[in-house]
Structure 1
Amino acid sequence: MEQTKALNALEPFLALSKSATSPRAAADLVTRATSAPNTFLFSDLLQTPAVQNLTDSEYASHLVLLQIFSYGTYSSYKSTQGLPALAEAQATKLRQLSLLSLARDRQNLSYAALQDALDLPGSREVETLVISAVYAGLLHATLDPARAAVQVASVAPLRDLAPGSIPDMATALKIWADRCTTTLSGLELQIKEIRTTAAARQREQRAADEKLQQLMSDSQEGTGPRKYELPNMTRDMMARRGFNKRSVMDVGNLVDNDSMDVDESEEEKKRASKRKL
């Protein structure tokens, strides 16, 4: 939305560029375009023949000024000699546009760093500039006076690409893509290891359950060890034979129940003998 609004604001100046046949008229057009409200994109105006013809004229500095408004910063304006003086509206706009470029790096967003980069006298002026940029729709940000920093959530796509910046952007994107590929490979390896471990545990659990079922079946049918022989197998011995904790407890409960049955039978026999006497 902000980009469309900025392009619409530039349209009248693009139309006027067709009638700007002299370098002085083209220079005046640059001044008016950079001073007007809502004009934040200047690449189309920068490419017009009238503005490009300023290169070899006495108004070449206006061409450089428009380039700075297009993709430069306030610091680059201050460090370039021979540029036209900025009106208050132009200075505010260039600082706002510079804020968009500085927001790419969080280290640039402290009050002290912004005050230095934007040539502002104090923290209050930094906050005022950020608020004006937010109300202009240039970025979404909040002020953090406690930390003396600006927290930027997003910026509007209102900065043009400087000549020769595409290869650097491509390199940065490639580094980011390689990092993502490495991270995904690591995650896939971890997932594979987790699945392998889970499958091994399931196999061990099934084997232990099968051993327990077989032992219980043999005991009930009389083909295996007798029930009263089961206590001879300690819990440690059963664990070494592949029984898990739950299986050991199940067998223990089974043995306890059988032992109780044997004790009850012997007690009944003793009582019957006493009655006969």
Structure 2
Amino acid sequence: MASDVVMAQDSVDVPAVPNQLEQFTILAKSAKGAACLELIKQVLEAPGIHVFGELLAMPNIAELANGPNAKYWNTLNLFAYGTYKQYTKNPKDYLELTPVMKKKLQHLTIVTMAVHTKCIPYNQLLEELEIKNVRDLEDLIIEAIYSDIIHGKLDQKNCQLEIDSALGRDIRTEDIALIWKVLKEWSQSCDSVLGCIEEQINRANSEKARRTKHKEQIEQEIINVKKALKTQLTDADEAMTSDQRETTPGQECRKKSCKSKSGRPIGKSWFKPFT
């Protein structure tokens, strides 16, 4: 068995269900009696529908909470906010789940667990989902990934599910204040990080400007030194040329008297010719 099985969200083509929730919502507005109850069952089994807050907010469905058909409202509320563990603790309070409903509720339970941690151990999943063996658990997780409910991978070596992202579930009204608090703290943290980044940018710009100025100063000094050296070399060349051109009259006369026009030495010869 491979130690790490990676599941990509585009590994299979999941058929889209366009506006299916909207269609159920429209039908629910006029549904009464048995039609309303049947609609709830269809919504709970419908693929691609994992949020139910809009239906719960409808008056004709909300009134089921306190009537003889409270199990329908309880079950819809369970799928919106609850987990599979809550269902197994008090199954008499809910409708009897079909295999399709059971699997959907288990998938939603994984989504809820992913909110608290991105690495969910197999033993926690087995307990919360009440599954007997790892093979069935992995099959359930793979179906959730293929259904675009969660994105992640099975880490079989470490016996855990690694979550990259998951769909959002319905939010209770009483949870809005907590969410607002978390978002506010997150916003403040972002402002703090942004302030630190801007400070680092300003510091980097100042350092860059200082280095640029220092570089320009060095380059100007190099230019000045080159000019000075060039001036010194020019003056030295002019001085040497002037020295070569300057000669005394006595030296010229001595040079001329040393040789005759024919190029022979001038003066009396000390050698006699042969007779």
- Equivalent residue for 1:18? 30
- Equivalent residue for 2:200? 190
Moved more, 27-36 or 109-118: 27-36
- Equivalent residue for 1:167? 177
- Equivalent residue for 1:132? 143
Give the Å deviation of 1:80.
4.7
Aligned pairs (5 A) from 1:57-136: 57-80=67-90, 82-84=92-94, 85-107=96-118, 109-136=120-147
Cα offsets for 1:159-217 (capped at 9, x unmatched): 22222222222222222222222112111211211221222222222223333333343
In 1, Cα distance between equivalents of 2:176 and 2:48: 27
Amino acid at match of 2:50: F
Give the Å deviation of 1:67.
0.6
- Equivalent residue for 1:177? 187
Does the alignment pair 1:145 with 2:152?
Answer: no
Amino acid at match of 2:27: A
Give the Å deviation of 1:93.
1.2
Number of equivalenced pairs? 222
Does the alignment pair 1:5 with 2:17?
Answer: yes
After TM superposition, the score normalised by the length of structure 2 is: 0.67
Give the Å deviation of 1:68.
1.1
Amino acid at match of 1:43: G
Give the Å deviation of 1:52.
1.6
Secondary structure at the aligned position of 1:164 is classed as helix
Give the Å deviation of 1:139.
2.7
Contact 1:7–1:39 (CA<8 Å) still a contact in 2?
no
In 2, Cα distance between equivalents of 1:173 and 1:138: 24
In 1, Cα distance between equivalents of 2:15 and 2:80: 13
Change (3 A) 1:81 1:206: same
Structure 2: gaps of 5 or more residues: 1-12, 237-275
Select the structure with the greater relative contact order (CA < 8 A; seq sep ≥ 6): 2
Structure 1: gaps of 5 or more residues: 228-277
Give the Å deviation of 1:44.
3.1
In 2, Cα distance between equivalents of 1:202 and 1:94: 64
In 1, Cα distance between equivalents of 2:64 and 2:206: 70
Which of residues 46, 51, 57 in structure 1 aligns to 2:61? 51
Q: CA RMSD in A?
A: 3.3
In 2, Cα distance between equivalents of 1:44 and 1:219: 87
- Equivalent residue for 1:231? none
Secondary structure at the aligned position of 2:17 is classed as helix
Moved more, 86-95 or 201-210: 201-210
Contact 1:13–1:33 (CA<8 Å) still a contact in 2?
no
Change (3 A) 1:210 1:50: closer
Change (3 A) 1:161 1:221: same
In 1, Cα distance between equivalents of 2:178 and 2:221: 65
Secondary structure at the aligned position of 2:173 is classed as coil
Give the Å deviation of 1:219.
4.2
